Amino acid sequence: MLDALDIAILGAGAMGSLFGGLLAEAGHRVTLVDIDDAHLDAIRRDGLSLTTDAGTRIVGNLRVSRPEQAVSAPELLIVFTKTMHTEAALASVQALLGPHTAVLSLQNGLGNVERIARYVARERVMAGMTTWPADKPGPAQVSSHGAGEIRLMNADGETHAHVRRAVDALNAAGLNCMADSNVWSAIWEKVAFNAALNSLCALTQCTVGELSNVPDGEALTLKIVAEVATVARANGIAFDEAHVVDNVRHALAHHRAHRPSMLQDVLAGRKTEIEAINGAVVAAARAAGVAAPCTECLLQLVRLVDARGTRRPY
């Protein structure tokens, strides 16, 4: 029988709505907390339209709230804002951070635990990585296709009861989750993939497949993966470079039309997550005394694009 949890999702965009929808469908008591009034109002009125390989259905048992209106502390808070909004979001939901609330980040990039640990004791923070994809085509709509997984552990490396409860809750929602004491490797390996493909697509406005239109594209992606592998190892992280290279090659060959989120952000005139990805790798390279020149160059170029800010007609 399901051990139903009180769960809040902080940042209910594409990923937060997917996870919130699946967790609510499984019978957990889920509140989506966001600042996007159009999305919240549409869910309040019509429910969430959730499309997966199992089909499209309406999830009608979701509660929704703006941060300042969220008052009761959940057992599990999942942070799914973009990385640059984590701290503002946590600062605005102090009432959600009760003494027994465990906080999980499955955001991309590095530094998520450190940002959350400014608001919550480290023994209640869980670090994780997910390969589930999600898109949000409009208010109260979310879709996700294909398979994914979640790996997580407590940030202090200890085995706490809340880790098992989070894993069980996510598995009840079909999200294929396991506790993994080696999660830092999975996080760094995903960072390498994103540092290469996201920043290159954001700058060139190529889809993932278009990066392999000339040999330079693939060569540059693999060079960045190699740099991130060096930085990870210099920071004591076991890094499976061959596995990331396989993933990159698979994406170049099979996800040809995909526009990574960083490209979507640039096209929409939004800030990207470059600081938590290439930016954090470059900072870690400096700290360890190793070089990451291509990763740094892409960081500097995406910063220029971010600073420009406005949407362009191309």
- By CB under 6 A, name the binding residues for ligand NAD: 10-16, 33-36, 67, 80-83, 85, 88-89, 92, 107-108, 130, 133-134, 136, 261, 273
Residue 54: CB minimum distance to ligand NAD, A: 18
Residue 150: CB minimum distance to ligand NAD, A: 10
Q: 16 or 74: whose CB is closer to ligand NAD? A: 16
Residue 231: CB minimum distance to ligand NAD, A: 19
Q: How far apart are CA 235 and CA 290, in angstroms?
A: 10
Residue 197: CB minimum distance to ligand NAD, A: 12
Q: 6 or 123: whose CB is closer to ligand NAD? A: 6
Residues 6+ apart with CB under 8 A from 283: none
Q: 89 or 230: whose CB is closer to ligand NAD? A: 89
Q: 144 or 212: whose CB is closer to ligand NAD? A: 144
Q: 28 or 39: whose CB is closer to ligand NAD? A: 39
Q: 90 or 220: whose CB is closer to ligand NAD? A: 90
- Per-residue DSSP letters for 235-265? TT----HHHHHHHHHHHHHH-TT---HHHHH
Please give the single-letter amino acid code of residue 153.
Answer: M
List, in sequence order, every beta strand (DSSP E) within the chain.
6-10, 29-33, 48-52, 55-59, 63-65, 76-79, 102-105, 125-130, 135-138, 141-143, 150-154, 177-179
Q: How far apart are CA 126 and CA 179, in angstroms?
A: 10
Residue 71: CB minimum distance to ligand NAD, A: 15
User: Which residue's beta carbon is nearest to the bound ligand NAD?
Assistant: 13
Residue 158: CB minimum distance to ligand NAD, A: 25
Are 32 and 12 in contact, with CB atoms under 8 Å apart? yes
Work out whether strand 55-59 and strand 6-10 pair parallel, antiparallel, or are unpaired: unpaired
| Residues found in the chain | 314
